Structure 1
């Protein structure tokens, strides 16, 4: 594969902008603003924007155009990931990755090998998931100490809602038996009452606050690495779910330099101590639509895998435990009010049914007292929703921003964590669509792999990549292929106020598109996850080629 260098130069190239380009001999598909799926064999673009789509007879309308033979490949709009973490992805590609490893010992061996060649100081990694291990129990610091004991080690759980550290990290952070977890966090303790080495949600900061901050150079490298990776997967635009002040500055700098590798719609992190100065700066909207910052990411609860998602009833596999609310309703309402009064939308993380209800209550109350209902506010994840609360998304104009791959990654674990009653409103994509809600689909990378075709496969089949279970998990919530594509294109654009610029190949919109090796609409649904991206075009310029 090959990433084309000098993307900024390409984007600004007067030659390519002045020249009309025709791509023909393609099987093109695009959703439309009106709702119908458009099909075409020719795409015409100029100045980075779509001029026309149609059949091969329109080629003669553009005799002076540069003509490109699509060689019969399928062409789709550039895909939009409506929920990811760009710098986190870049860091993941540069740091220790233990995703999918099925034992503590195998992780330890990989950690030991990585630490030998990693720079001195803290060893950082991500991806462990105790539900994949034989005993399915949370790990301990002592287990990590067997492999690396002379340097602090911090490994983030795959969902980003827990960390596993060694004894050196706890010693440097001053953690001992007297250390108490902050509200919204939990310290997992061993039978003797000592911290075991796992810290959940807000307790993570007891350790993380001691990790040296990333340098500007490290952030630049992470952004570049993530951008290259996303382009190779056919993602031309991504929503970055919670950026800090340093990233806010970096994105503006790169937008001014015309060097952002992909389009970014960024949400300010509500937990950043400099949230107010960022809000006071005002909405940011770059004219070439490479950067938009007009929303705040708020965090209501934790994740299901670490039993941090806030539930109305006890966890099925942990009696007396209902998860963690990271903010009270009063705190949530204060953050909503602060966002709306500065003209920002609010996108709130809520996974459990209790968290979703409290967040909906908070939106409803603030809409009545402050306003903000028309700001295309979102609930990020909306994984476990009580059936009584699903209609409230529509009445309150709340967009469910959901990650289809979570359902197939979580299905076995979810059935352990939750009983049938709790699962009635779980990952309920079709139910949301039937009531008229728009779903903004994403992956939550690096929690999950960023490949959007894994997400499209999960959305259409409700199966794992091994195509299990046979009929799909809770199959009544499957999406059809067109619904799934809309969720990853024009409806994701709608959720960012960008549906008139991005998300479909209609006249006047940016010519962001991809060529793929299989016909998405005419292959078996079970093969969607095998689709490969051949080319990615951004603003009418070739940005990636396999």
Structure 2
């Protein structure tokens, strides 16, 4: 039945008023070199229209100006506009806490000792001296340090310093004493205590043995965790990240996230993975997903560790280490327990994101996922292998059948290039850091940094993906360049495919109409400059849902 004429007039007027209000609220940023990736290509544009936090259109400025004549015009000043970048594997709390601890990244042996001694003057009496980032691989001799080196600094604090990969720690004698670690202490399964010739602990603890030390260190309070997370958010936004997949959180950190979300204090998109080591895992999974793909906080996955790291020789290998013929690394869980955890998660409709670095660990994960697939289709879960760092080439091809995602960190390759050959030998490098093999078979790569193992800056990752050189330009021809990504592939790995890996590609990942207006402005065009300079490019502005949340220059 048609409306009476007077009501038609009123309805038409109301519609025009609402339409005008929408147009008036629209913003149109122009004079930009815009890029985003779709499922099939890299697309360019010179203007972006958005309203109420969502993208309306991208394209030619003149056409969009005519379509939205009353839109607020924002001059992009010739800068490069990209979708907000997503780090698919970082450790947000660890990064926030590190900002108030000692960072030892990239220091040689003497610089490391000097930094520890200098920092000790800032530590309050009775407090632990904590830090992270030492790396024996870049020291002369490449040998693990010992407690005696810390004891010789005559520092009156217990000292605990995590290795750069987070899979080993270095303690002084005072810390070992407080933790009750002595020659009679047995290493837990999946862990190792390095020992001196007389059987005493050397001061180095590997993987699960680190818990023996860390249970003796006072844990940060819930409020301290919230403050550290907030610090990490601010750093991430300043570097162009509008999304982070937090790779393993305990119950209290999850509660910190929930409180921040309730207070509307999360300024970017967080996808925390519940740690499989959490004692209340079964109850947390039974409670179901937290949030939706549209929310700033979205939880629907677990993080499961299977092995350690290559640098500390904890990565589980099928054959012995090339430089330690009697060692094959560590499995952090018995094989049967890995399968049980995978089944627990999938029975509760949770995605599983499994840390696997060595070829044995990767093969184990694949075997178990195929076992589950026999009973229930695993493809919809979009399970992820975190790192997927060293595989037999034949195992790489197995990713396609189960729709598995390779969650990889490009800067690991450029950091590990001088060590990987020592650990693996040349033959096993064929299946290591093998981005091209994954991409060519259609496997999506969700790119991240693994911060604070590597720096937070995602442009460092795009640079490493494209050049396979470190930030000093080495090696000049790139390391195993046959595995490099194109710039478009690298951008997609840090945007659309990272969004796919968190089941959020319908709302973020590129700037298609209807998606959130999450974007960044760069001071240079990463598609036109010398690729070796990509890591030097700075983020001028970061926008989340159409609001500017970071600006480098006023």
SS of structure 1 residue aligned to 2:216: coil
Whole-angstrom CA distance in 2 between matches of 1:217 and 1:253: 10
Whole-angstrom CA distance in 1 between matches of 2:176 and 2:279: 24
Could you list the runs of 5+ residues in structure 1 that have no partner in the other structure? 1-14
Q: Establish whether residue 116 from structure 1 lines up as the match of residue 129 from structure 2.
A: no
- 1:370 positional shift: 4.7
Q: Establish whether residue 184 from structure 1 lines up as the match of residue 168 from structure 2.
A: no
| Structure 2 counterparts to residues 143-158 of structure 1, below 5 A | 143-158=149-164
Question: Is the Cα–Cα contact under 8 Å of residues 255 and 290 in structure 1 kept in the other structure?
Answer: yes
Q: Provide closer, same or farther for how the CA distance between residues 412 and 253 of structure 1 changes in structure 2, counting only shifts above 3 A.
A: same
- 1:286 positional shift: 4.4
More displaced, 215-224 or 154-163?
Answer: 215-224
Q: Provide closer, same or farther for how the CA distance between residues 286 and 255 of structure 1 changes in structure 2, counting only shifts above 3 A.
A: farther
SS of structure 1 residue aligned to 2:471: coil
Q: Establish whether residue 37 from structure 1 lines up as the match of residue 42 from structure 2.
A: yes
More displaced, 215-224 or 363-372?
Answer: 363-372
- 1:145 positional shift: 1.3
Deviations 1:348-399 (A, max 9, x none): 0000001100110011112223543320000000000101100101112211
Question: Which of 48, 72, 78 is the matching residue for 1:72?
Answer: 78
Whole-angstrom CA distance in 1 between matches of 2:480 and 2:427: 13
More displaced, 268-277 or 426-435?
Answer: 268-277
| Structure 2 counterparts to residues 288-299 of structure 1, below 5 A | 288-299=294-305
SS of structure 2 residue aligned to 1:164: strand
Q: Establish whether residue 107 from structure 1 lines up as the match of residue 112 from structure 2.
A: yes
| Structure 2 counterparts to residues 367-378 of structure 1, below 5 A | 367-378=373-384
Whole-angstrom CA distance in 2 between matches of 1:92 and 1:165: 17
Whole-angstrom CA distance in 2 between matches of 1:323 and 1:16: 60
Whole-angstrom CA distance in 1 between matches of 2:54 and 2:212: 49
Whole-angstrom CA distance in 2 between matches of 1:285 and 1:16: 28
- 1:61 positional shift: 2.0
Q: Establish whether residue 440 from structure 1 lines up as the match of residue 436 from structure 2.
A: no
Whole-angstrom CA distance in 1 between matches of 2:72 and 2:154: 58
Question: Is the Cα–Cα contact under 8 Å of residues 345 and 372 in structure 1 kept in the other structure?
Answer: no
Question: Is the Cα–Cα contact under 8 Å of residues 268 and 296 in structure 1 kept in the other structure?
Answer: yes
SS of structure 2 residue aligned to 1:272: coil
Q: Establish whether residue 536 from structure 1 lines up as the match of residue 542 from structure 2.
A: yes
Whole-angstrom CA distance in 2 between matches of 1:206 and 1:328: 19
Question: Is the Cα–Cα contact under 8 Å of residues 340 and 371 in structure 1 kept in the other structure?
Answer: no
Deviations 1:37-78 (A, max 9, x none): 221111000010101111111212222221110011010000
Question: Is the Cα–Cα contact under 8 Å of residues 16 and 541 in structure 1 kept in the other structure?
Answer: no
What is residue 392 of structure 1 aligned with on the other side?
398
Deviations 1:70-97 (A, max 9, x none): 0110100000000000011111112111
Question: Is the Cα–Cα contact under 8 Å of residues 24 and 70 in structure 2 kept in the other structure?
Answer: no
What is residue 283 of structure 1 aligned with on the other side?
289
SS of structure 2 residue aligned to 1:243: coil
- 1:127 positional shift: 0.4
What is residue 11 of structure 1 aligned with on the other side?
none
Whole-angstrom CA distance in 2 between matches of 1:542 and 1:149: 46
What is residue 50 of structure 1 aligned with on the other side?
55
Q: CA RMSD in A?
A: 1.4
What is residue 258 of structure 2 aligned with on the other side?
252
- 1:467 positional shift: 1.5
Whole-angstrom CA distance in 2 between matches of 1:356 and 1:276: 25
What is residue 364 of structure 1 aligned with on the other side?
370
Q: Establish whether residue 519 from structure 1 lines up as the match of residue 525 from structure 2.
A: yes
Question: Is the Cα–Cα contact under 8 Å of residues 18 and 47 in structure 1 kept in the other structure?
Answer: no
Q: Establish whether residue 475 from structure 1 lines up as the match of residue 484 from structure 2.
A: no
The two structures have a TM-score, normalised by structure 2, of 0.94
- 1:118 positional shift: 2.2
Whole-angstrom CA distance in 2 between matches of 1:383 and 1:61: 48
Whole-angstrom CA distance in 1 between matches of 2:23 and 2:199: 66
Question: Which of 157, 168, 177 is the matching residue for 1:171?
Answer: 177
- 1:328 positional shift: 2.1
Q: Establish whether residue 301 from structure 1 lines up as the match of residue 319 from structure 2.
A: no
SS of structure 2 residue aligned to 1:238: strand
Deviations 1:450-471 (A, max 9, x none): 1111110110011111111122
Question: Is the Cα–Cα contact under 8 Å of residues 433 and 439 in structure 1 kept in the other structure?
Answer: yes
- 1:218 positional shift: 1.3
What is residue 348 of structure 2 aligned with on the other side?
342
Deviations 1:147-182 (A, max 9, x none): 254221110000000000110110011111111111
Question: Is the Cα–Cα contact under 8 Å of residues 17 and 47 in structure 1 kept in the other structure?
Answer: no
Whole-angstrom CA distance in 2 between matches of 1:388 and 1:372: 20
Question: Is the Cα–Cα contact under 8 Å of residues 23 and 69 in structure 1 kept in the other structure?
Answer: yes
SS of structure 1 residue aligned to 2:88: strand
Q: Establish whether residue 331 from structure 1 lines up as the match of residue 350 from structure 2.
A: no
- Alignment coverage as a number of residue pairs: 530
Q: Establish whether residue 232 from structure 1 lines up as the match of residue 234 from structure 2.
A: no
| Structure 2 counterparts to residues 122-133 of structure 1, below 5 A | 122-133=128-139
Whole-angstrom CA distance in 2 between matches of 1:221 and 1:294: 24
SS of structure 2 residue aligned to 1:427: coil
- 1:108 positional shift: 2.6
Could you list the runs of 5+ residues in structure 2 that have no partner in the other structure? 1-20
Whole-angstrom CA distance in 1 between matches of 2:329 and 2:148: 26
Whole-angstrom CA distance in 2 between matches of 1:196 and 1:486: 45
Whole-angstrom CA distance in 1 between matches of 2:196 and 2:23: 63
Whole-angstrom CA distance in 2 between matches of 1:422 and 1:210: 39
Whole-angstrom CA distance in 1 between matches of 2:215 and 2:95: 20
Whole-angstrom CA distance in 1 between matches of 2:436 and 2:227: 39
SS of structure 1 residue aligned to 2:360: helix
